[in-house]
Amino acid sequence: MTAAIRYDEVETGTEIGERTFPVRRVDLVRYAGASGDFNPIHWNDRTAKAVGLPGVIAHGMFTMAEAARLVTDWVGDPGAIVEYGTRFSAPVVVPDDDEGAEITVSGTVKEKRDDNQVVVALTVRSGGTRVLTRPTVVVRLA
C-alpha cells in the first residue's frame, strides 16, 4: 500500500488537478445494478417528477465515486485513503439524451497532518452548480 505521491512533495494549497466525468442514463442503470440501489428516482422520470424532483437524478454515491477518482488517480493506490465524506447539496439531473450530464471535479490540499496524512478538499460541480458540500478526502501519502 504505497501512494505514488510523497508527503514532502505537497504543501497546503497544492492543486491536484481537474477532471470531468460524463453521466448518462445508462450509467445510472448500470450503477443501480452494481450497487443494489434501485430507488426509481435514479432511472424513472415518472417517479422522479411525482416526488417533486426536476427529473431523474444521479445516485449521490455515483457522484461521490467519480469525485474520489481525482484523488485515487493522484495517489495511485486507493488503499491510501483514510477518510472520505461529503454532504449532497444539489441534485445532478441527468436528461434522457445521448449526452446526459457532466460532473467536474477539482481538488486542493487543504491541510497537512501527522502520520503523512493530508486533507484534500474537493470541488464538485454539475451544470455550473456545486452538487457536493465540503467533499473531503484524508489520504496517507508516501
Partner 1 sequence: MAINRAFLGRAYPAPEPYEVTRGKIREFAEAVGDANPLYSDPATARDEGHPDVVAPPTFPIVLGMAGAGRAITDPELGLDFSMVVHGEQRFRYSRPVRAGDLLDAVTRITDIRSVAGNELVTLESEITDPDGAHVVTAVNMLVVRGAAEGGSGSGDAAKEGAA
Give me the residues that bind partner 1 (CB under 8 A), please. Answer: 1-2, 21, 27, 30-31, 33-37, 39-41, 47, 50-53, 57-66, 68-69, 72-73, 76-79, 81-92, 131
CB of 13 or CB of 131, closer to partner 1: 131
Residue 7: name the closest of 83, 107, 102, 80 by CA. 80
The residue assigned the cell 481538488 is 107
Min separation Cβ 6 and partner 1, Å: 16
Angle, CA 120 vertex, CA 141 and CA 104 arms, to 5°? 125
Min separation Cβ 104 and partner 1, Å: 15
Residue 40 in grid coordinates: 426509481
CB of 109 or CB of 137, closer to partner 1: 137
Angle, CA 21 vertex, CA 40 and CA 5 arms, to 5°? 125
Whole-number Å distance between alpha carbons of 54 and 137: 30
CB of 11 or CB of 115, closer to partner 1: 115
CB of 64 or CB of 118, closer to partner 1: 64
Min separation Cβ 27 and partner 1, Å: 7
SS3 41: helix
Min separation Cβ 111 and partner 1, Å: 17
Q: Count other C-beta atoms under 10 Å from residue 126's C-beta.
A: 23
